[in-house]
Chain A
Amino acid sequence: MSQAFTKAMARNIFYGGSVFFLLLLAALTFDTHMAWPERDNHAAITESVSQGKALWEENNCIGCHSLLGEGAYYAPELGNAFKRLGGKDGIKGFIMSRPKDGIPGRRSMPQFNFSPEELDALADFLEYVSGINTSNWPPNIQG
Chain B
Amino acid sequence: MQYQSQSVAKPYFIAAIGLFVGQILFGLIMGLQYVIGDFMFPEIPFNVARMVHTNLLIVWLLFGFMGATYYLVPEEAERELFSPLLAHLMFWIFLIAGALTVLGYLLVPYATLAELTHNELLPTMGREFLEQPTITKLGIVVVALAFLFNIGMTILKGRKTAISLVLLIGLLGLAVFFLFAFYNPDNLAKDKYYWWFVVHLWVEGVWELILGSILAFVLIKTTGVDREVIEKWLYVIIAMALITGLVGTGHHFYWIGTPEYWQWWGSIFSALEPIPFFMMTVFAFNMVNRRRRNHPNKAAVLWAMGTAVMAFLGAGVWGFMHTLAPVNYYTHGTQITAAHGHMAFYGAYVMIVLTMISYAMPMLRGREAAPSVRSQVLEMWSFWLMTVSMVFITLFLTGAGILQVYLQRFSDNPLPFMVAQDKVELFYWMREVAGVVFLIGLIVYIASFFVGSRDPEPVAGAVEPAAAA
Say if A and B assemble together: yes
Q: Which residues of A contact B (CB under 8 A)?
A: 1, 5-7, 10-11, 13-14, 17-18, 21-22, 24-25, 28-29, 31-32, 35-36, 39-42, 45, 49-50, 53-54, 56-64, 66-77, 100-108, 110, 112, 128-129, 132-135, 137-143
Query: A10–B232 contact, CB under 8 A?
Result: yes
Q: Is A69 a contact partner of B333 (Cβ separation < 8 A)?
A: yes
Distance (whole angstroms) from the CB of B323 to the closest CB of chain A: 14
Q: Which residues of A contact B184 (CB under 8 A)?
A: 57
Q: Does B110 lie within 8 Å of A28, measured CB to CB?
A: no
Residues of B within 8 A of A104 (CB): 38
The verdict on B254 contacting chain A, using a C-beta distance below 8 Å, is yes
CB <8 Å contact, B330 and A139 = yes
Given contacts A36-B189, A74-B34, contact A138 B235 (CB under 8 A): no
Contact A54/B38 with A63-B50, A71-B128 known, Cβ cut-off 8 Å: no
> Does B335 reach chain A (CB closer than 8 Å)?
yes
Residues of A within 8 A of B246 (CB): 18, 21-22, 24-25
A13-B235, A62-B127, A134-B257 known; A50 vs B37 contact (CB < 8 Å): no
Most chain A beta-carbon contacts within 10 A, residue among B47, B125, B231, B262 = B47
Given contacts A1-B233, A135-B254, A139-B330, is CB(A63)–CB(B51) below 8 Å?
A: yes
State whether A107 touches B46 (Cβ < 8 A): yes
B263, CB-defined interface residue at 8 Å: yes
Q: A10 touching B235 by the CB < 8 A rule?
A: yes
Any chain A CB within 8 A of the CB of B69?
no
Task: Name A104's closest neighbour in chain B (CB-CB).
Answer: B38
- In the complex, what residues of B have CB within 8 A of residue A141's CB? 414
- C-beta contact mask, B277-291 vs A, less than 8 Å → 1, else 0? 000000000000000
Number of interface residues of B (CB under 8 A): 79
In the bound complex, residues from chain B placing their C-beta under 8 Å from that of A105 are 36-38
Extra pairs beyond A74-B34, A142-B420 (10, CB < 8 Å) = A24-B246, A62-B128, A69-B255, A73-B334, A73-B338, A75-B417, A102-B37, A104-B38, A138-B332, A139-B329
Give the docked Cα–Cα distance between A139 and B414 (Å): 10
Cβ-defined contact, A32 with B193, below 8 A: yes
Q: Pull 30 A–B residue pairs with CB atoms less than 8 Å apart, ordered by A.
A: A1-B233, A7-B228, A7-B232, A21-B243, A21-B247, A35-B258, A39-B259, A59-B110, A59-B126, A60-B48, A60-B110, A60-B125, A62-B127, A62-B128, A63-B50, A64-B45, A68-B333, A71-B128, A71-B333, A72-B46, A74-B33, A74-B47, A101-B42, A103-B37, A106-B37, A106-B38, A137-B254, A137-B332, A142-B414, A142-B415
- List chain B residues, Cβ under 8 A from A35: 258-259
B235, A135: Cβ atoms closer than 8 Å: no
| Closest chain A residue, CB of each to CB of B415 | A142
List the count of A-B residue pairs having beta carbons below 8 Å apart.
232
Q: Which residues of A contact B231 (CB under 8 A)?
A: 7
- For B258, the closest partner residue in chain A by CB is A32
Residues of B within 8 A of A129 (CB): 188
Which residues in window 289-342 of B have CB below 8 A to A? Answer: 329-330, 332-335, 337-338
Known A54-B123, A68-B192, A69-B332: A102·B254 in contact at CB below 8 Å: no
Give per-residue flags for B5-45: 1 if the beta carbon is below 8 A from chain A beta carbons, else 0: 00000000000000000000000000001101110011001
B464 within 8 A of A: no
Evaluate contact between A58 and B111: CB separation under 8 angstroms: yes
Taken together as a complex, chains A and B put the C-alpha atoms of A57 and B162 apart, in Å, by 42
Which residues from chain B contact A66 at a C-beta distance below 8 Å?
A: 333
What residues of A have a CB within 8 angstroms of the CB of B330 in the complex? 139
CA distance A133 to B263 in the complex (A): 14
* A60 touching B46 in the complex, CB below 8 Å, given contacts A39-B259, A54-B123, A133-B257: no
B3: Cβ under 8 A from any A Cβ: no
Q: Given A11-B162, A39-B257, A57-B125, answer yes or no on A64-B242 (Cβ-Cβ < 8 Å).
A: no
Question: In chain B, what residue has the closest Cβ to A69?
Answer: B333
- B36 contacts across to A, CB distance below 8 A: 105
Task: Please indicate the chain A residues that have their CB under 8 angstroms from the CB of B421 in the complex.
Answer: 107
